[in-house]
Structure 1
């Protein structure tokens, strides 16, 4: 059985959300860790030497990039009843799908995590101004998604995919990083559609229930 290590509300939410959209919660063991695990659960370094979450263990394979894990899961389990949540190489929008999948972290999540660290966790070091600059950088990098979603309901293939999960989480994270004031009306509407999905709501409940059962209440933010 696969095992997913994560912290509630972290980037690992992309993975638990994907699992719930696929309807395979019973096929994967969810392990909740205190945030940040590198400080509060040193044993986790034996799973992921970086101490970051998430980590998916599937036999001899350990994956630590959340968007890659989402894509991997779609290849390991059957598509849900409503249809595939990934695009295949023979589909016209496959390149766009991959671009958005990687845009989520490379462009949208990274500046937020730096802003969070500098503005909230390390402000006693005088780094708030740098954190605010990263926050503004995040705001400017939303232009591409805003333009796409003004013309399309979803990012690629005219259907909901894990690219929407990946980018959607980056927008959801902005609430916890206190950068959601940068979201345009189009992006707010998109995020509302995503967070209203039963799969997203089940993922939140799954993480919460698992954390309580495992005695872990910490979350990001």
Structure 2
């Protein structure tokens, strides 16, 4: 079977599967795209009608969901050192963190990012930025509690659940929201971003970055919690 191929834009959710590919030391192809590719590389729409990243192929398989691609890599390439098998006592928790990472954590950040940096200045909405940033920080409560006494999320070891949640923390840092992380989350995030595979993956495509890390413009921290 052909080796997997990933289409990636710097700082986008495609960092999740790219990080996973590096952790698993798999042989893969990488296509770097400017963000958002549906605007700056229109021909990409012929390949992926959504115009989003990631886009992933492996033989006849095509995928667009970052955490799903990570799960596919674990199960297809038998990389169970980075996942948990069905029947494991923490399997449900493992799956929950994978889905929680986007449905609960990344979604509000994408709204904040859009209306703070990506829209033209006359379309930016400070109130939306503040509201959705608040949403994200409040929804870190489960992570705050879960990390008590833990180094990683599941089974006492690093898995793709950490990659999925780690990207949400990475995006929060780029929005200046890391100043509101609880100390236990700060320590956890430091462990994740110190991993050699993350450092290597995060640098890929950095010359095409559309937005830079910023300082969060609102300072009314008590309301965020």
Do they fold alike, i.e. is TM over 0.5? Answer: yes
TM-score of the superposed pair, with normalisation by structure 1: 0.89
Give the superposed CA RMSD. 1.5
Write the mapping of 1:164-183 to structure 2, written as runs, cut at 5 A.
Answer: 164-183=162-181
- Count residues in correspondence: 208
Does the C-alpha gap of structure 1 residues 29 and 11 become closer, same or farther in structure 2, counting only changes over 3 Å? same
CA drift of 1:178 comes to: 2.3
Q: Report the secondary structure of 1:151's partner residue.
A: coil
What SS is found at the alignment partner of 1:62?
strand
> After superposition, what is the alpha-carbon deviation per residue over 1:151-181, rounded to whole angstroms, capped at 9, x for unaligned?
3111112211000000011001112122222
1:214 aligns to what? none
The answer to whether structure 1 residue 98 and structure 2 residue 95 are counterparts is yes
Equivalent residue number for residue 219 of structure 1: 209
Task: Show the counterpart of 2:186.
Answer: 188
Shift of 1:182: 2.2
Q: CA shift at 1:76, angstroms?
A: 2.0
Distance 1:127 1:50 in 2: 25
Higher normalized contact order (CA 8 Å, seq sep 6+, divided by chain length): 1
Q: Calculate the TM-score normalised by the size of structure 2.
A: 0.88
Match of 1:45 in 2: 45
Distance in 1 separating the partners of 2:210 and 2:156: 32
1:68 aligns with 2:62: no
Equivalent position to 1:158, from 152, 156, 159? 156
Which residue in the other structure is 1:204 paired with?
202
> For residue 2 of structure 1, what is the aligned residue in structure 2?
4
Unaligned runs of 5+ in 2: 212-225
Whole-angstrom CA distance in 2 between matches of 1:72 and 1:139: 29
Going from structure 1 to structure 2, the CA distance change for 1:220 and 1:177 (only over 3 Å counts) comes to farther
Structure 1 segments unaligned to the other structure (5+ residues): 212-216
Cα distance between partner residues in 2 of 1:145 and 1:47: 36
